[in-house]
Structures are given as C-alpha cells and as structure tokens.
Amino acid sequence: MKEYEREILLERIGRDGATVGADIPERIDVQGESVDLQEFVFEIKRRETVPPGERERVERAKKNLRRERLDRKQLIEDREVDFDEGEEIAGAIIGIDRALNALESLGPTDIETEQQRKEAADTKRWMNFLQQALGRDDGPRAGGR
C-alpha cells in the first residue's frame, strides 16, 4: 500500500462523522471469536438501561470491540495489507465504531452506583434544608436576617 493510500484510509476511519449512515456489521470476528454484532447491539439497545445481569457482558463486548478496532487500525498503519483489503478493514472499523457508539449511548450501566448518587444528593438536600430551618446555616438567609 502506498503512503497516500494509507493516509486516505486512516483519515476515513478518524473522521468525526464517519459513522453517520454506517451500518453495524451483522457478523464480525472479534478477538478470534465470531460475534453476531448487529443482533447483540439491537438486543441491548431495546432496553432503556442495561440490566444487572448483562452489565459485565456489555462492558466485556465494548472492551473487545475497542481492542479489535485498534488491531485492525494497526494493520493499516503498518501497511500489512494492500489498499483493497485496507478499504474492507476501514469499513469494518467504521462498523465497529458505530456499534461502540450505540453501546456507549445506553443509559447508566451501573444502576446501584446511580441509585447511591441520587440518595447522596437527596440526603445533602435534606441536611441543607434542616440547617436552614433550624437557623444553623452559615450562608446568607432569606428575608435579610
């Protein structure tokens, strides 16, 4: 592969809007394992949040997809493929990016942590209210007291 061809492919996969209109591959080899990627992403996306039993599976999938993306990008960077193969790899990388975007856009994957955060915020609001109501607030008071 020539230098300018390599640069074209790397620019294509690095472009911000590269995933716009891109399809998630139906099936892809990720870290040596064949994955029904499109089905997996659509199955997870049907839910508003990732259920506790699926969190680890989704996080592992995202980690493996990121690793696969880097491995494929490395093939282009190191010119280990010809331009035609590079175009196929670039298309697969963009499909991986599309899948990653879909998985990253899911709601909180850690429901317990989200619940703890909300409870801590509620407790803080309640304590602030009590301090103000009992006159123990060091900040400015309403009504000019």
pLDDT at 92 (0 to 100): 92
Is 44 in contact with 64 (CB distance < 8 Å)?
no
The residue type of 5 is E
Report which of 41, 39, 46, 81 is spatially closest to residue 61, judged by C-alpha positions: 41
Q: Does the pLDDT at position 17 exceed 90?
A: no
pLDDT at 145 (0 to 100): 45
β-sheet bridge partners, residue 34: 29
Phi/psi region, residue 61 (left: phi>0; alpha: psi -120 to 50; beta: rest), is: alpha
pLDDT in tens, 86-124: 999 999 999 999 999 888 877 554 556 667 778 888 888
19-35 mean pLDDT: 85
Q: Which residues contact 135 (CB under 8 A, 6 or more apart)?
A: none
pLDDT in tens, 35-68: 888 888 888 888 767 777 778 888 888 899 999 9
Domain extents in the chain: 3-109, 110-145
